[in-house]
Structure 1
Amino acid sequence: MTAGKWVVLALVATAIAAGVGLWYAQTQAWYGPVDTPDITFSAPDGTPMERPLLAFEGIDASTSPLRYRACFALDPSEVAPLIEAGMAYDTPEPLVAPGWFECYDAETIALALDRDEATAILGVRNIATGVDRVIALFPDGRGFAWHQLNGTLE
């Protein structure tokens, strides 16, 4: 092989390694499981309302408050009273989760919210500066949570 071919091979190998490293850092490296279920709902006056969860699976990362995602289940009989007592969230925008976190599908959640098949309520206002925890509840007791910018930093 000529020197030019070695240089090209080295550049291609470096680009591939950098691409794999970047993909890994964005989708795998920083995420960790949320071991303790931490789903709380807010009443219109800001009072926290806790409900027992039947199931919970969550991920988070210390690198950004926006990386939180959770899937959980409530007793279906708890959903309607919770929506009634909770604070509606007017602009829910489910954020995409890593592909390996299979219980959470942002597109499906967003579509259900648009079709009024699910209801978005506030979990916690300013869980981090400028970030709210938003919760989408389905009538069958399924729930999904994510963190979303609330516009106070603009």
Structure 2
Amino acid sequence: MSGKVLALIMAVVAVATAVGVYYLQVYHYYEEVAPDGFALVTESGEIDAQATNIEAIDAISSPIRFRACFDTALTPAADATRYEDAVPLTAPFWFDCFDATQIGDALEAGTATAFLAEKNVEYGVDRIVAITDDGRGYVWHQLNNCGETAYDGTQIGEDCPPREDQ
């Protein structure tokens, strides 16, 4: 077999692998889901975010792939637990209601506020809800301090709950 044929075969395999990995990451693992709604954590429990027009996606491959968009008439209560370190994670380009850059800019500008919706939805992962001044809501999962510590290999502190899967 000549070198040119071998090089061509290797190039075809490399392109096929790249296309396969791209497809798996952007399309295959995601599926549309229909959550019942979202709640904000408060000092006294939870308050319903009054979500309507919910669009949501999730993937079984990672606990931080959940994204959702919704409309709400809720004016966030003063006692809702604000999430100061909220950083919206990007969504696949085809899930066009969720623009992480635009949400992050709104959080920085103060035209959106992020709240804790659920602590440790999975170990080390919090569910964050951000609500804009114009009544648009966004949800994503984000690593909390325990998750960041657990996944970067640092010793987990005593303030982190024990992992159920170990």
The answer to which structure has the higher strand fraction is 2
Instruction: Output the CA distance in 2 between the equivalents of 1:21 and 1:110.
Output: 31
CA contact 1:89–1:122 (8 Å) conserved in 2: yes
Which residue identity is paired with 1:122?
L
Partner Cα distance (1:33, 1:121) in 2: 23
Give the secondary structure class of the aligned counterpart of 2:27: helix
CA distance in 1, matches of 2:142, 2:77: 19
Structure showing greater relative contact order (alpha-carbon pairs closer than 8 Å, 6 or more residues apart): 1
1:124 corresponds, among 99, 104, 118, to 118
* Amino acid in the other structure paired with 1:58: A
Q: Which residue of 2 aligns with 1:135?
A: 129
Number of aligned pairs?
A: 148
Task: Compare the two structures and name the one with the higher helix fraction.
Answer: 1
Q: Tell me the TM-score normalised to structure 2 length.
A: 0.84
Backbone CA RMSD of aligned residues: 1.3
The amino acid that maps onto 2:50 is P
- Unpaired runs of 5+ residues, structure 2, are 150-166
1:89 aligns with 2:83: yes
Describe how 1:56-75 pairs up with structure 2 within 5 A: 56-75=54-73
Unaligned regions of 5+ residues in structure 1, if any? none
CA distance in 2, matches of 1:31, 1:83: 33
Aligned to 2:93: 99
Q: Shift of residue 37 of structure 1?
A: 3.2
Classify the secondary structure of the residue corresponding to 2:96: coil
**TM score, norm. by length of structure 1:** 0.91
